[in-house]
Amino acid sequence: MAWSCSRFETEKLNLRQSVEKSVADVNNAIHVISETRGYDILCADDAALKSETDFRDSITLDMVAGIYDFKPDLSHHHQFFIPYRMFERTGESDMMVVNLPKELVFHPRSLHTLPPADSILKNDFTITASDYNFYYTWFNQFDYKLNAGFELDSEDLGSFDVVASGSKDSGISYSSEYTFTEGYTIGVSFESGDSSVSSFVLADGDDILLKETHIKVGQGFHKKERLYILTLGNVEIRRGTAIDSIQVFLDGVLQKEAGAKIIDPAGSDGSFCRHRDILLTFDDGTTMNLSELLAPSREILRTLFDSLHSMRLAKHIVDYIAISIYYHSHYQPG
């Protein structure tokens, strides 16, 4: 396998140096991400907005394929979970291509309430969904898929991929991932079962910068952590029920003289993004506190973590648009 020069240099570092470099890589990545419009999209939220999974139906890409421009028609009254007629079909496409004002994306409440009729807004934002499947029933069964790209004034802002499914028999599984044009990817995944597995990852291309993995057993308040892994570049911190202490690895090699302590203060849910802290002890007895080292990034990581888990971008924006197009083209055409 071919390694880049920077990766080769990283492998020569000792544990402390590797932690310091990996932390710097994470902080730099998060700083770059936080300056992007892709980050602004993921952060766009209004707590008062309802999830569009309250709408029960089956919508596939072929049902909403085409090119659409934002042109609201308020004469078609909306009710229950059905949006206003907001888009006019202007062209053919095998994808769902939607042109709308950026204000409706960065401020989703405006999309749901619609701007005043005399507002002059430019359709400068484009959503292109190359894959879409929306299937939700009243019996808590669902099958969902979205692959969409975003552009502002023809500038690429990145892409969003979501896969989710659930039923009474099979449980729930989902993955949600955003890829920034700068090369960074951030994603979450979850799978329920006798052992539930969840993860959160920040990557630069194929290189993992930060990854957190939980495996838990039990249900509800009786859930117990069976395995916890925090990966920071080429350093891995691992705690499981089958080992007596927390293990620290460097490039896959156990560091027998190093140690770690996991700290869960009040309000922690076991995730580093939500208050969990780790105190590393090196072979010379010195220590490092990860929450202090990653302090510049932690709040932004938490925001991204919450956005991807809730899939707000999909539910509050893309689904709302797709439902409007679907309903008004199939049930209220013309």
Q: Is the pLDDT of residue 99 over 90?
A: yes
pLDDT category, 125, cuts 50, 70, 90?
very high
Give the highest mean pLDDT range of 83-87, 127-131, 218-222, 329-333: 127-131
pLDDT score of 89: 95
Q: Which residues contact 70 (CB under 8 A, 6 or more apart)?
A: 86, 87, 98, 99, 100, 101, 104, 121, 123
Among the ranges given (134-138, 202-206, 286-290), the one the predictor scored with the smallest mean pLDDT:
134-138
Q: What is the mean pLDDT of the chain?
A: 87
pLDDT score of 330: 79
pTM of structure: 0.88
pLDDT score of 2: 37
Per-residue model confidence as pLDDT tens digits over 139-169: 778 999 999 999 999 999 999 999 999 988 8
Q: Is the pLDDT of residue 216 over 50?
A: yes
Q: Is the pLDDT of residue 78 over 80?
A: no
Q: Is the pLDDT of residue 47 over 70?
A: no
Q: How far apart are the first and last CA of the chain?
A: 59
pLDDT score of 4: 43
pLDDT score of 3: 33
Better-scored residue on pLDDT, 118 or 316: 316
Mean pLDDT of all residues in 225-243: 90
